C-alpha cells in the first residue's frame, strides 16, 4: 500500500482517539490532498503537531477546519429549523446519513456533510414542499427521487418522498416498507432502528460504488456507526435485513477494511468469513482512495465505475456510452425542472449538457469519457472487484 495512504489511515486512527499525530509524514502536500479528497482533513486538523508540519500545509488544514466548523454550524441550524417546521405542521420526517453520522464522531464538525437529506411519507411530500417554499427555502430542482432546496444560508437540502431509488434490484428489496423500521424521537421527528439504518448506509455506499465513487470517509462511517451501536444491535434482526438486501458480504468487507485501515474491530461475526487476497485488498483500497468522497478525487474516472457496475452488466459498451451521452427524459427533467413544462425541448437539453462538458468540465472530464473507448478491460476488472467485495 502507498506509504502516504498508510499515514493518512494512521493519522485518522489517532485523531479519532484524540491523540496527537507526532510521526513524520513522508509527503505532507500529498498527505493533505489524500485527506481532503477523502473527507478527512477536518478530522485530522485538531491533532496535528504544528511544530512537525510545514506551515503552508498546516494553513491548508486550518482553512478546511474552518470550513468544516462553519458548515456544521449552518447545517445544525437548518436541521433544528426544519424539525420545528415539520413538528408544528404534523409532518413525520427522518433525517438521513450525515445528520445522523455527525453525532457519532468525537466532534460533529469532523464529519463533513454536503446536502442535508431527509425523507417524509410520500403522502406528505406535496405538503412538505409547499411548507418549505413558504418558509423561503429556494426550490432548485424537482424529480421523482427527491426535491432539491436551498436555504437562505446557502445550505442545500434533498427532500425525499421515499427511499426506494433502485440502482440495482439485487439490493433494493429491503426498502419496501421503510417506515416499519422508524421510531419516534421527537414529536413528528423519527429515526431508523440501528439495524435498518446500518444496512441503509451500506446500500447508499454501494450506490456510490456503482456510480460516482466512494472515499475513505464512507468506509469509516460504517465502522463508526457499527461501533456506536454494537452493544444494542439485535443481530437476528440485522441478519434478516442483510439477507433481504444481499449486503451481508459487503458489510463484512467494509468492517474488515475498518480493521485493516484504522484498527477498528467491530461486529467480528460478519468479518470472520471474509477473505480478501492481497491483490483484491490493494485494488479496492486504490479504488476507494483515488475516488475520494463522491468521486471528488482529481484522477478518478467515475465513468469506468458505472461501466463496471451491475446496473450496466451485460450491456455493450456502446449502449452504455450512448446512455451517458443522451440521458433519459426523466434524468434531464431532474437537471432542468422547466423541461416538464416544455417537453419538446428535451433534445435541446442534451446540447446544453454537451456545451457544459466542453466549456466547464475541461479536458480532464472529456479525457475520462474518451477512456471508455480505449479501455476494454477496465470495466470487467471493476465488475470482478465488486463481486469480490460483495456487490
CATH code: domain of residue 67: 3.30.460.40
The span from the CA of 67 to the CA of 387, in Å, is 37
The span from the CA of 385 to the CA of 308, in Å, is 9
Residues in the chain predicted with pLDDT less than 70, given as ranges, are 164-167, 295-325, 330-331, 333-335, 337, 354, 357-379
C-alpha cell at 127: 405538503
Asked whether residue 32 falls in the same domain as residue 84, the answer is: yes
Looking at 276, 295, 314, the residue that finishes a domain is 295
The pLDDT score that the predictor gives to residue 297 is 64
Looking at 295, 324, 352, the residue that finishes a domain is 295
Among candidate residues 292, 282, 259, the one with its CA nearest the CA of residue 385: 282
The pLDDT score that the predictor gives to residue 173 is 83
Asked whether residue 198 falls in the same domain as residue 122, the answer is: yes
Asked whether residue 253 falls in the same domain as residue 123, the answer is: yes
The pLDDT score that the predictor gives to residue 208 is 87
Residue range of the domain that includes 44: 3-295
Taking the CA atoms of the chain, what radius of gyration do you get in angstroms?
21
The pLDDT score that the predictor gives to residue 374 is 46
The pLDDT score that the predictor gives to residue 24 is 94
Looking at 243, 275, 295, the residue that finishes a domain is 295
Report CA-CA distances (Å) from 221 to 111, 202, 281, 369: 9, 10, 19, 30
Helix intervals (H) in 3-54:
3-16, 28-37, 41-45
DSSP for 248-305, please give it.
HHHHHHHHHHHHHHH-----GGGTTT----HHHHHHHHHHHHHH-GGG--TT--HHHH
The pLDDT score that the predictor gives to residue 364 is 52
Among candidate residues 8, 42, 43, the one with its CA nearest the CA of residue 23: 8
Asked whether residue 273 falls in the same domain as residue 143, the answer is: yes
Asked whether residue 169 falls in the same domain as residue 258, the answer is: yes
The pLDDT score that the predictor gives to residue 346 is 82
Length of the chain: 391
The number of distinct structural domains making up the chain is 2
Percent of the chain at pLDDT > 70 equals 83
Amino acid at each position: 500500500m502507498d506509504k502516504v495512504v498508510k499515514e493518512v489511515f494512521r493519522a485518522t486512527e489517532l485523531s479519532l482517539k484524540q491523540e496527537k499525530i507526532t510521526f513524520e509524514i513522508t509527503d505532507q502536500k500529498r498527505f493533505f490532498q489524500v485527506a481532503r479528497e477523502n473527507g478527512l482533513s477536518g478530522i485530522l486538523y485538531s491533532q496535528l503537531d504544528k511544530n512537525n508540519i510545514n506551515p503552508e500545509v498546516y494553513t491548508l488544514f486550518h482553512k478546511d477546519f474552518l470550513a468544516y466548523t462553519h458548515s456544521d454550524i449552518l447545517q445544525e441550524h437548518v436541521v433544528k429549523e426544519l424539525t420545528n417546521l415539520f413538528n408544528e405542521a404534523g409532518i413525520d420526517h427522518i433525517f438521513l446519513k450525515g445528520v445522523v453520522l455527525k453525532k457519532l464522531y468525537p466532534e460533529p464538525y469532523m464529519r463533513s456533510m454536503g446536502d442535508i437529506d431527509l425523507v417524509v411519507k410520500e403522502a406528505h411530500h406535496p405538503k412538505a414542499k409547499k411548507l418549505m417554499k413558504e418558509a423561503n427555502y429556494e426550490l432548485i430542482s424537482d424529480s421523482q427521487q427527491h426535491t432539491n432546496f436551498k436555504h437562505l444560508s446557502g445550505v442545500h437540502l434533498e427532500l425525499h418522498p421515499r427511499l426506494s431509488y433502485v440502482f440495482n434490484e439485487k439490493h433494493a428489496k429491503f426498502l419496501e416498507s421503510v417506515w416499519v423500521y422508524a421510531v419516534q424521537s421527537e414529536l413528528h421527528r423519527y429515526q431508523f432502528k440501528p439495524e435498518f439504518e446500518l444496512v441503509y448506509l451500506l446500500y447508499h455506499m454501494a450506490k456510490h460504488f456503482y456510480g460516482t465513487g466512494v472515499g475513505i470517509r464512507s468506509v469509516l462511517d460504517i465502522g463508526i456507526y457499527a461501533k456506536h451501536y454494537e452493544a444494542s444491535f439485535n443481530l437476528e434482526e440485522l441478519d434478516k435485513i442483510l439477507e433481504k438486501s444481499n449486503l451481508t458480504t459487503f458489510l463484512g468487507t467494509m468492517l474488515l477494511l475498518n480493521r485493516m485501515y484504522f484498527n477498528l474491530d467491530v461486529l467480528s461475526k460478519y468479518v470472520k468469513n471474509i477473505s480478501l487476497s492481497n491483490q483484491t485488498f490493494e485494488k479496492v483500497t486504490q479504488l476507494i482512495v483515488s475516488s475520494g468522497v463522491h468521486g471528488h478525487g482529481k484522477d478518478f474516472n467515475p465513468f469506468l465505475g458505472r461501466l463496471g457496475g451491475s446496473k450496466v452488466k451485460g450491456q455493450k459498451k456502446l449502449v452504455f456510452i450512448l446512455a451517458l451521452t443522451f440521458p433519459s427524459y426523466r434524468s434531464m427533467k431532474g437537471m432542468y425542472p422547466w423541461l416538464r413544462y416544455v417537453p419538446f425541448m428535451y433534445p435541446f437539453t442534451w446540447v446544453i449538457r454537451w456545451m457544459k462538458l466542453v466549456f466547464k468540465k475541461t479536458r480532464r472530464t472529456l479525457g475520462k469519457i474518451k477512456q471508455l473507448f480505449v479501455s476494454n478491460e477496465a470495466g470487467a476488472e471493476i465488475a470482478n472487484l465488486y463481486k469480490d467485495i460483495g456487490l
